[in-house]
Amino acid sequence: MSILAIDQGTTSSRAILFDDRFEIAAMAFCPIHQSYPVPGWVEHDPEELFATVLKAAADCLAQSDALPSAVGITNQRETVIVWEKATGRPIYPAIVWQCRRTAPLCEAIRAAGHAPAIKQATGLPVDAYFSATKIAWILDHVPQARKRAEEGELVCGTVDSWLIWRLTGRHATDITNASRTQLFDINKMAWDD
């Protein structure tokens, strides 16, 4: 049994193939471009993220006769992508974990006294680092995004869910990624309304 490990990170996408003895059989690396459209903002092209994952995986597999029995994904967990459910087309660039555009919204949430409840439910402080306010920003700043989301036309997620959706057509994540969105109740182990 061999395993293909995919690491979609902030500056590159990498793939490592482990053989049946869990030794490295092959490795590949593809750099990615970061965009800084406004000071303090950081974005990625979701299509480039997917393309570099495919290239890294293909380059890695081309180095070995081993075919993976399983694939694992690690990623930049707080980075957010919103895409059309019907077409898969992203409606906005990925907002990267480093982006500080939602710091004023976080300050308003803290000033309104919501930080203790959020911390209790999610285990996370209110900060622009996490995904929730990034999703809110996209819904509030991309024309028609909130309306389309309410009508069930849009899907959102962290990079792992984007990659899984593109590879399989399924919208999925795991608890370790969900817990970094600030939308997952770690006490109930469920999404929080």
Q: What is the DSSP letter of 13?
A: E
The Cα angle at residue 129 between residues 71 and 172, in degrees rounded to 5: 30
Cα 154 to Cα 2: distance, rounded to the nearest angstrom: 35
> Which stretches of the chain are assigned E, i.e. beta strand?
2-8, 12-18, 24-31, 43-44, 68-75, 80-84, 94-95, 154-158, 184-185, 190-191
In a structure prediction context, what are the per-residue pLDDT tens digits for the chain, which is 193 residues long? 899 999 999 999 999 999 888 899 999 999 999 999 999 999 999 999 999 999 999 999 999 888 899 999 999 999 999 999 999 999 999 999 999 999 999 999 999 999 999 999 999 999 999 999 999 999 999 999 999 999 999 999 999 999 999 999 888 999 999 999 999 999 999 999 8
Q: Residue 7's CB: how many other CB atoms inside 10 A?
A: 17
Are residues 132 and 114 in contact, defined by beta-carbon separation less than 8 angstroms?
no
The model's pTM is 0.93
Are residues 94 and 49 in contact, defined by beta-carbon separation less than 8 angstroms?
yes
